[in-house]
Structure 1
């Protein structure tokens, strides 16, 4: 996967006007290697990733996230992101069919890769925060500020949900967490996640963003399913959680809460983990930016 992802990242950076030497430094290969990537056809890189059973939206999220990280000088985070993603794919047995095409001796009941990825909630959430350091995302931070939460698989109480105490604000034009992730760091999002997971157990992460005029159009562009709740004047965490959870039967990706008297409208973006949530938020932010 890596050479084809590198090729697509190099082409994206070049399209942004970056020199071959600069791209080589950011991507971590030689300048001649970058020239080879740029001379190759983008369709060939994508075809190889299709053969690894990646979908267009997954490829776009991976490339956008890596471009964002290396452009911000976060090469270590970019490497950690791709490694984590690769281990997740292996542990989910998503690459088995491709592997068997290459090596026909692999038995059909092989599940050896299931133990490759050891879940580390704190590391995943920190990576997600790195992905969110994007000026376009800053436009989606509401007046009440944002937060992103991640629950344990067997979460039963607020202390089982990781989030940012003090939330995420815009500082220097970038979304910036007030502190490091802490278990029990957000009563509001933790209450929503715990209630939602009674109906839709696959969603373990959520982030709240501004319910901007562009959101609904952006969600359609990103092929994300949404539902609308409210308006409602109920402002306590439990009431909001129950209103959101009441429409989660078929696990929509986003809930649009229209707010109420003294309650700012918010969109709640859900995902299986914070990397998926942050990728979705970045994609929504990009579409909103393009619409303006």
Structure 2
């Protein structure tokens, strides 16, 4: 009898570390820097980069593994990924590979009695709601990192700050929406993120996300930028649909939902009011999708 965790330790982890070590080595990291990142010794890193550690083929060639290695290495390189983010990415990857993926296949290879039984031991024991929450938090983290890397985006951050949010499926309250505590802000031409995302920490962006999801359950992500003619014109050039609403009304939720009566637009914006800064909300299926739309707008 071999536990799934043994497969992760014996087959997945050495392969993943070897791939990540090689990628970081290619990016100019020293072996000691790589060792510190991976939590191993410098001699172990030397073996990884010299290709003296046997890799498990079905793990090494999996697109999800390759994508995660590249994403973490790039984040370490440009400073947008810290050790916590990297660990979260790897844990999420392991969970994905345990669900009818390479880890599942390797487990069946080591334990033939599992073959043909439709085994779901690895995933059945997890709290499904917790898994979904982790996925949403992961989406917001990835979206924020991508937002930081968009050239010129800091110029469009409102004085009150920006937030990136994503709702759980069937969300019905701000506590079901993940965002960045304290908001994302611009300083010296760069975007700064004060903390990792949490649930229930956003008000205005959460209201827009919840209103969008009530109108169209597939729309669960959004972020806010400063409203400007330049931004709206660029969105139009990009083929995006924008709808305005009145910021002065007290019933913000009802006002936004009225704006979504004919469908959820790509952008919902207002021109501000007394003590209210003009803000445009970019809406998509999820938080990374909203950031992708922002990239399209700014390219225009």
TM-score normalised over the length of structure 1: 0.62
Summarize the Cα distance change of 1:18–1:109 in structure 2 as closer, same or farther, 3 Å threshold: closer
Report the count of equivalent residues: 264
Query: What is the SS of the residue equivalent to 1:18?
Result: coil
Identify the range of structure 1 (126-135 vs 169-178) with the bigger mean alpha-carbon deviation.
126-135
Q: Which structure 1 segments of 5+ residues have no match?
A: 217-225, 249-254, 272-276
Q: Which structure 2 segments of 5+ residues have no match?
A: 1-11, 273-277
Task: Give the Cα–Cα distance (whole angstroms) in 1 for the partners of residues 195 and 122 of structure 2.
Answer: 37
Task: Give the Cα–Cα distance (whole angstroms) in 2 for the partners of residues 245 and 102 of structure 1.
Answer: 55
Matched, 1:63 2:70: yes
Q: Counterparts of 1:180-195 in structure 2 under 5 Å?
A: 181=198, 183=200, 185-195=201-211
Task: Give the Cα–Cα distance (whole angstroms) in 1 for the partners of residues 49 and 107 of structure 2.
Answer: 28
Task: Give the Cα–Cα distance (whole angstroms) in 2 for the partners of residues 11 and 265 of structure 1.
Answer: 42
Task: Give the Cα–Cα distance (whole angstroms) in 2 for the partners of residues 150 and 125 of structure 1.
Answer: 8
Q: Residue in 1 aligned with 2:153?
A: 140
Q: Offset at 1:233?
A: 5.3
**Bigger-Rg structure (1/2):** 2
1:182-234 C-alpha deviation (Å, 9 max, x unpaired)? 52x33333233324434654665544568699999xxxxxxxxx972225355
Task: Give the Cα–Cα distance (whole angstroms) in 1 for the partners of residues 22 and 234 of structure 2.
Answer: 28
TM-score normalised over the length of structure 2: 0.61
Q: Residue in 2 aligned with 1:161?
A: 177
Which of 1 and 2 has higher RCO (CA within 8 Å, sep 6+)? 1
Q: Offset at 1:113?
A: 1.9
Task: Give the Cα–Cα distance (whole angstroms) in 1 for the partners of residues 55 and 261 of structure 2.
Answer: 41
Q: Offset at 1:169?
A: 0.9
Match 2:27 to one of 2, 12, 16? 16
Quote the RMSD (CA, aligned, Å). Answer: 5.0
Summarize the Cα distance change of 1:246–1:16 in structure 2 as closer, same or farther, 3 Å threshold: farther
